[in-house]
Amino acid sequence: MWLIKSKFMTSCKRLSEVKWVVVSFVVGCVAPAAWAPLALPFVGLFAAAVLTALVFISRSASQAMAVAMAYGIGLHLMGHGWVFHSLMGPVHAGWLMSLLGTFVFVFYLALFTAIPVGIFKLFSERLPRLFWPWIFAACMILGEFARSVIFNGFSGLSLGYVFVEQLPKHWIAAVGVYGLGWLAYLTAASVALACVYFAVRHVLAAFVYAVLLYGGGFFLAKVQWVAPVGEALKFRLLQSNVRQDDKFRPENRMVQLSNYTTWIKQERADLTLTPETAFPISFNEIPVDYLQSLQSFSEQTGTHLFLGMPVQSGHRGAFNALFHFNPQNKIARYDKVRLMPLGEYTPTGLG
């Protein structure tokens, strides 16, 4: 066993920094297979374990950050390739600006992998190796959380989301998606530690964390987190079968408005909901008789209507809004203010 460990360490040390970076980039490109539509969670754990192993064997914080940066660029380039199409299509930025914008966006997202890894590498050498997976997992999750907050937030490709259809998903009710992500990183990092620095205690720790990840999900599935109170609410979700490209064509807008109004009034429910911009006309431009008929329906049937439509709000500009028509003859409104860059708004200079 000592000979296997020695050969593994020797082969790792012979790898140049460039090869580490290339390997990390390739693994990052493969990692998005863990999320939908392929939804292969073991790919996510494997990718995280490989990244962690490369970080562990890096000789400096700068080398570890380069490896993590390559992983992050591969991850977000393959996982968020729609950014380029968004810039080329709706934004009409052209080839050069689309490539530049995609690179800047992907580079920015990758920083939330590289910086936590650099911080980990700076402090990990002072700690016993058995604690490395705990610290690494904490740094990575803090990076994911920061990415979800800064500049309106971008939480896509967070590791916890790979388990939404798997047994570990039941952890989310107890610790949230970032708590589950931390446990997943802990498991992957423990496996990496056991491979890089083989020791019985490291193998045992990796086994315990893997059992905790999946076994804990099994037992948490048996917990009843919520209980019904009173009578069940009846609700309706209305979704038109209209292509996005056709939805906002001037000749189709009134047809959409009439169709949704008809569908809403076909049946009473406690809650009736439509998607955002289901009404492809600004609230300010909808004929008054349509709004009055919807409000009258709400009052007469006791139905709460939640309707998505844009709105012009004076000097504040236009918003994607959700309107609530309630049976008490009142209309409330929520304006969507946290927008996804390049998906819902174009950063200055790229439009």
Say how far residue 89 (Cα) sits from the centre of its chain.
23
Q: Which two tokens stand for residue 302?
A: 């006791």
Alpha helices in the chain (DSSP H): 2-14, 17-30, 41-57, 61-79, 82-88, 94-124, 132-147, 172-196, 200-220, 244-247, 250-264, 288-301
For 183, residues 6+ apart whose C-beta sits below 8 A from its C-beta are 137, 168, 171, 175, 209, 212, 213, 216
CATH code of the region 235-335: 3.60.110.10
Q: What is the pLDDT of residues 155-182, one digit of tens each?
A: 889 999 999 999 999 999 999 999 999 9
pTM of the predicted model over 0.85: no
Q: How many residues does the chain have?
A: 351
Count Cβ atoms below 10 Å from residue 233 Cβ, excluding itself: 9
In whole angstroms, give the CA distance from residue 215 to residue 135: 23
Radius of gyration in angstroms for the set of CA atoms belonging to the chain, rounded to a whole number: 25
Q: Which two tokens stand for residue 346?
A: 């174009």
Q: Is the pLDDT of residue 295 over 80?
A: yes
Q: What is the pLDDT of residues 89-136, one digit of tens each?
A: 766 778 888 888 889 889 999 999 999 999 999 999 889 999 999 999
